A and B are shown apart, each in its own frame.
Chain A
């Protein structure tokens, strides 16, 4: 029940029998997400899988598909959340308008950070994104009249929403989940569209061989900047969802540990795969949820599992699973 997802497969695929499945990967993913609140131990956990799934999916565009290892994705996650909260709480913007506004503003932030950082390569790119994300963290800490500083942003609870004339109790976990899932579905459709477009092929070409892509006449710098912005936009949508879900924005959302967690999730689930980010987010959060109920030393276990994955399953859970399925299918 999987969408084909390897970037390489997408790039090389000929249209035909393949395209049916390609279109379905969004639908299949949504179908899996739709049942999450009924299988996971709690609905709060399911919503978190959704939120982090979207954030990590945005990050996967940058890291998995373009090969840019950023350590600053938390900046966009947090920016989306803060802009949503401030728009609703301070300026009284209705929630459905606050989300696009927040995504737009976060994309501008991504453009600013991207202009500086995409000029560098390799470890320097990682360090520059980390440094700029820390800058965003300290701005949020200091601008406490806007952001609530250390205490976090509060006072923008969305408790009822009006959906085309239908009054929904947004505090009900199931209603909340499906409304937020619509956002996630939108993000998935958008990302799938990007990956299927010629631009999607270009970014993978950059990942595989930057020199060659340049020689083929592609504007590598511009493509990197655009993908950085798109990635930031999708991750910031995750932030908007978090703000609507928790009705607080904790300052820790901008902390570099959040960026680290995003990297961990994408590696755990499988970079370069379409549904991998959701698998990564789900497995990380479930591990954390279950093990921390059982022992306060949960980090030891999560860390050990992570090390094992990096050593033995570098393609992550989903990537490995897809490979296994393919081996089975390829030889009749």
Chain B
């Protein structure tokens, strides 16, 4: 570079001119904000990454909940707007997006997230700023006193209640149980829940294997699991991992030896791999569209979803988006606006029935007390149609007994 010696003679004048041009640019008025009368709900969710299918369902259902309220004239005449942001399944990204939603978009509340770590990050940001957050992803940690705040609500099931319900249906005294667990918070919490339920039932633990989050190859784990000779194999993972691991377990002939049980059986993953692979797999769920025979609210939720989405049916994780946003909006309706303290009060008093039967937020930890379903994946020949995926083995009505006690969680009682 021959010229480099004589290069950087940018004169003071040029620098000043540049600076003032920059300043002039800045002085331009910033873009106007949305009108103040709209109620804005922030909705961070992992639109990209391994949970994208579940996240898209959440968005569709959350939008439906907003639309239904807006169709009826909004809340006190104010329209509701849902601001969806991609958190990329990354806690740091989620925290940044949540900050942005609060500081720039001035949201009145936040609903969303689809991973244990991400919801805790969102919660940390919202509670410091006194913004209501309704989490719609499974977590036990968020119930505990350390992460709780009066602004924190948890609409999703938690691992403790899910695993207990599944274990009650599948385990018996003296059974041998092995675990294949995704090595991150969700898997660990599910494993902890299963072991607690196992101990209460009197089933024996014969081994645990951790697999990396997002693993594609499970072939090395299967022979080890089979050599443990369990009666039941609990596979605690989520999203694509669930479909991949069950598929490979079936290829290894695991099902001839033992029953496969999962804490949460996912509608989308069952659709992704087909009935033969999932046949006989038992798992918990917060929602299944087939409840419509038993529950009026399920029937009307299904109908509204079908009307808005060209005949498609809502999924389990989708239903969280609906009930999470729906319960919040109902509380705002009751509070007559968005005043945070009043809405918190209203949420604590709220009795709601949006998708499957009565629900309410427990006072001490704001965990939603709700029914837990246990589903079994149907044989292909037993399916009445393409959407007839599961048989409902149990529908345990919600009660405080399902949850860990307030004092165990560290809340003042």
Contacts and interface: CB of A to CB of B under 8 A. Distances in A.
Interface string B186-217: 00100000000000000000000000000000
B48 A296 contact: yes
Interface string A1-20: 11011101100110001101
Contacts of A260: none
B125 A31 contact: no
Interface residues of A, number: 56
B15 A6 contact: no
B86 A292 contact: yes
A171 B100 contact: no
A6 B10 contact: no
Contact of B124 (A150, A248, A325): A248
Interface residue SS majority, chain B: helix
Contacts of A44: 96-97, 99-100, 103-104
Determine which residue in B8, B10, B147 has the highest number of CB atoms from chain A within 10 A of its CB, and name it. B8
B334 interface: no
Contacts of A162: none
A296 B185 contact: no
Interface stretch (B22-30, B254-262, B399-407): B22-30
Interface in A289-332: 292-293, 296-299, 322, 325-327, 329-330
Contacts of A155: 124, 146-147
B103 A12 contact: no
Contact of B185 (A28, A31, A41, A151): A151
B400 to A, nearest CB: 25
Contacts of A9: 4-5, 7-8
A151 B125 CA distance: 14
B91 interface: yes
A326 B141 contact: no
Interface residues of B, number: 50
Given A42-B100, A44-B99, A251 B117 contact: yes
Contacts of A173: 99, 103
B35 interface: no
Given A44-B104, A173-B99, A246-B125, A326 B5 contact: no
A250 interface: yes
Interface stretch (A32-40, A61-69, A195-203, A276-284): A32-40
A29 interface: no
Contacts of B72: none
B7 A251 contact: no
A24 B14 CA distance: 14
Contacts of A39: 25-26
A155 B121 CA distance: 10
Interface string A217-245: 00000000000000000000000001000
B26 A42 contact: no
A35 B184 contact: no
Nearest to A32: B22
B22 A12 contact: no
A8 B4 contact: yes
Contacts of B12: 20
A247 B10 contact: no
A319 B400 CA distance: 63
A181 to B, nearest CB: 16
A-side binding surface: helix, strand, loop or mixed? helix
Nearest to B122: A248
A92 to B, nearest CB: 16
A17 B90 CA distance: 48
A252 B26 CA distance: 34
B52 interface: yes
B158 interface: no
A100 interface: no
Nearest to A12: B5
Nearest to A296: B47
Given A9-B8, A252-B90, A326-B7, A1 B100 contact: no
Contacts of B146: 155
A9 B1 CA distance: 10
Given A154-B147, A247-B124, A247-B125, A325 B92 contact: no
A117 interface: no
Interface string B268-308: 00000000000000000000000000000000000000000
A28 B4 CA distance: 21
Given A42-B104, A151-B117, A250-B90, A330 B26 contact: no
B129 interface: yes
**Residue in A248, A297, A322, A326 whose Cβ sees the most chain B Cβ within 10 Å:** A248
A186 to B, nearest CB: 22
Contact of B128 (A152, A159, A297, A329): A159
A326 B8 contact: yes
Contacts of B41: none
Given A9-B7, A157-B128, A326-B7, A1 B15 contact: yes
B16 to A, nearest CB: 8
Contacts of A296: 47-48, 52, 86
Nearest to B187: A150
A28 B15 contact: yes
Contacts of B18: 1-2
A9 B4 CA distance: 6
A21 interface: yes
Nearest to A299: B48
A2 B7 CA distance: 12
A152 B10 contact: no
A149 B91 CA distance: 12
Nearest to A41: B104
Interface string A156-170: 010100000000000
Given A18-B8, A248-B125, 7 more contacts: A6-B7, A32-B22, A38-B30, A42-B100, A152-B91, A152-B120, A171-B129
15 contacts: A5-B8, A9-B4, A13-B5, A18-B8, A24-B15, A151-B116, A151-B141, A159-B128, A246-B96, A247-B124, A248-B95, A250-B95, A250-B121, A251-B117, A325-B10
For the complex of A and B, list the 10 residue pairs with the smallest distance between their C-beta atoms, beginning with the closest.
A4-B8, A1-B18, A250-B91, A44-B99, A250-B92, A42-B104, A326-B7, A150-B185, A44-B100, A296-B47
Interface of A: 1-2, 4-6, 8-9, 12-13, 17-18, 20-21, 24, 28, 31-32, 35, 38-39, 41-45, 48, 149-152, 154-155, 157, 159, 171, 173, 242, 246-248, 250-253, 292-293, 296-299, 322, 325-327, 329-330
